[in-house]
Amino acid sequence: MAELKEGILKLFKEHYGMTDEEAQEYYKEQFEIVKKTAVKEEVEWLRRECMDVLEEVNKTGKVPKLIF
């Protein structure tokens, strides 16, 4: 993971003319955006799974086998 971060920072500096500090700050901002997006997607997936289980319970009156 550290190698990936270093490669990205190098790209920012060499191709976009950023200073070390600018590259670090930009990386940090982008990482937070990606992290928030990934969490939102995971929460949405879990919400859909829960809704499917509730639908099954309402239809059949039984709790389906859950696989985690």
Instruction: Please write the tens of the pLDDT for every residue from 49-58.
Output: 999 989 989 9
18 phi, psi to nearest 5 deg: -85, 150
Residue 7 lies in a domain: yes
Residue 68 lies in a domain: no
pLDDT digits (tens, 9 = 90+) for 29-46: 999 999 999 999 999 999
Residue 33 lies in a domain: yes
Residue 56 lies in a domain: yes
pLDDT attached to residue 67: 63
Candidate from 12-21, 40-49, 58-67 with smallest mean pLDDT: 58-67
CA distance 6 to 8: 5
In the chain, how many domains are there? 1
State pTM to two decimals: 0.64
Segment (H or E) for 31: helix 20-60
pLDDT attached to residue 22: 97
Residue 9 lies in a domain: yes
pLDDT attached to residue 65: 79
CA distance 23 to 46: 34
Residue 66 lies in a domain: no
Chain centroid offset of residue 16 CA: 25
Residue 14 lies in a domain: yes
